Amino acid sequence: MVAKLAQLISVAKGELPADLILANARVVNVFTGEVEPGNVAIYCDRIAGVGDYHQAREVLDLAGQYLAPGLINGHTHLESSMLDVGQYARAVVPRGTLAVVTDLHEIANVSGLKGIKYVLNSARRLPLELFLMAPSCVPATTHLETSGVCLELEDIRQMLRWKECIGLGEMMNFPGVIGGFEAVLSKLKLFQGRVVDGHAPGVSGKNLTAYIAAGISSDHESVSLAEAKEKLRQGMYVMIREGSSEKNLAALLPLVSDKTYKRCLFVVDDRSCVDLLTDGDINAVVRKAIRHGLDPVRAIQMATINTAERFRLNYLGAVAPGYLANLIVTSDLTEMQIAMAFYRGRLVARDGVPLFEAYQPGGEGLTNTVNIKPFAPQALRLPAVGETELIIEVVPGQIVTRKRAERVKVKDGAVLPDISRDILKLAVVERHKASGNIGLGLVKGFGLKRGALASSIAHDSHNIIAVGASDEDIYTAIKEVEQLQGGLVVVADGKVLASLALPIAGLLSDQPLEVVVAKLADVEKQARGLGVTLPAPLSTLSFLALPVIPELKLTDLGLVDVTEFKLVKRG
Amino acid sequence: MVAKLAQLISVAKGELPADLILANARVVNVFTGEVEPGNVAIYCDRIAGVGDYHQAREVLDLAGQYLAPGLINGHTHLESSMLDVGQYARAVVPRGTLAVVTDLHEIANVSGLKGIKYVLNSARRLPLELFLMAPSCVPATTHLETSGVCLELEDIRQMLRWKECIGLGEMMNFPGVIGGFEAVLSKLKLFQGRVVDGHAPGVSGKNLTAYIAAGISSDHESVSLAEAKEKLRQGMYVMIREGSSEKNLAALLPLVSDKTYKRCLFVVDDRSCVDLLTDGDINAVVRKAIRHGLDPVRAIQMATINTAERFRLNYLGAVAPGYLANLIVTSDLTEMQIAMAFYRGRLVARDGVPLFEAYQPGGEGLTNTVNIKPFAPQALRLPAVGETELIIEVVPGQIVTRKRAERVKVKDGAVLPDISRDILKLAVVERHKASGNIGLGLVKGFGLKRGALASSIAHDSHNIIAVGASDEDIYTAIKEVEQLQGGLVVVADGKVLASLALPIAGLLSDQPLEVVVAKLADVEKQARGLGVTLPAPLSTLSFLALPVIPELKLTDLGLVDVTEFKLVKRG
Q: Select from B259, B310, B323 the residue whose CB has the most chain A CBs within 10 Å, as the one to mutate to test that interface.
A: B259
Please tell me the predicted confidence (pLDDT) of residue A165.
98
Give every residue of chain B whose pLDDT is below 70, as ranges: 569-571
User: Model confidence over B173-214: pLDDT tens digits?
Assistant: 999 999 999 999 999 999 999 999 999 999 999 999 999 999
Closest CA in chain A for residue B313: A193
User: Model confidence over A378-392: pLDDT tens digits?
Assistant: 999 999 988 899 999
For residues A276-283, give the mean pLDDT.
Answer: 97
- Phi/psi of residue A122, nearest 5 degrees: -65, -45
| B7-B12-B18 Cα angle (round to 5) | 70
Q: In B, which residues are within 8 Å of A19 by CB distance?
A: none
Which of B5, B206, B215 lies nearest to residue A214, judging by beta carbons?
Answer: B5
Q: Is the CB of residue A102 less than 8 Å from the CB of residue A220?
A: no
Distance (Å) from the alpha carbon of B204 to chain A's nearest alpha carbon? 11
Q: How many whole angstroms separate alpha carbon B484 and alpha carbon B503?
A: 7
Q: Does pLDDT of A570 surpass 70?
A: no
Q: How many whole angstroms separate alpha carbon B478 and alpha carbon B374?
A: 11
How big is the A-B interface in CB pairs under 8 Å? Answer: 164
Please tell me the predicted confidence (pLDDT) of residue B175.
92
Q: How many whole angstroms separate alpha carbon B442 and alpha carbon B408?
A: 10
Pairing of strands A129-134, A165-171: parallel
B31 and A232 in contact by Cβ < 8 A? yes
| Residue A48 Ramachandran class (φ > 0 left, ψ -120 to 50 alpha, else beta) | alpha
CB contact, 8 Å: B262 with chain A? yes
User: Model confidence over A396-405: pLDDT tens digits?
Assistant: 877 889 999 9
Distance (Å) from the alpha carbon of A315 to chain B's nearest alpha carbon? 8
Q: In B, which residues are within 8 Å of A305 by CB distance?
A: none
Please tell me the predicted confidence (pLDDT) of residue A360.
82
> Which residues of B, range 198-237, sit inside 8 Å of A by Cβ?
205-207, 209-210, 212-215, 232-235
Please tell me the predicted confidence (pLDDT) of residue A376.
97
For residues A547-565, give the mean pLDDT.
Answer: 91
CB contact, 8 Å: A495 with chain B? no
Q: Is the CB of residue A488 less than 8 Å from the CB of residue A457?
A: yes
Q: Is the CB of residue B224 less than 8 Å from the CB of residue B251?
A: yes
Which of B14, B213, B323 lies nearest to residue A321, judging by beta carbons?
Answer: B213
Please tell me the predicted confidence (pLDDT) of residue A571.
31
**Nearest to B302, CA basis, from A266, A262, A305:** A262
Q: In A, which residues are within 8 Å of B178 by CB distance?
A: 9, 13
Which of A206, A232, A320 lies nearest to residue B49, judging by beta carbons?
Answer: A206
**Nearest to B489, CA basis, from B522, B454, B538:** B454
Q: What is Dmax (Cα atoms) for chain B?
A: 89
Please tell me the predicted confidence (pLDDT) of residue A565.
84
User: Model confidence over A224-241: pLDDT tens digits?
Assistant: 999 999 999 999 999 999
A31 and B182 in contact by Cβ < 8 A? no
For residues A232-261, give the mean pLDDT.
Answer: 96
| Residue B486 Ramachandran class (φ > 0 left, ψ -120 to 50 alpha, else beta) | left
Beta-strand ranges (E) seen in B395-516 are 401-407, 409-411, 414-416, 423-429, 438-444, 452-455, 464-468, 487-492, 495-501
CB contact, 8 Å: B493 with chain A? no
Please tell me the predicted confidence (pLDDT) of residue B571.
39
Q: Higher model confidence: residue A549 or residue A168?
A: A168
Please tell me the predicted confidence (pLDDT) of residue B327.
98
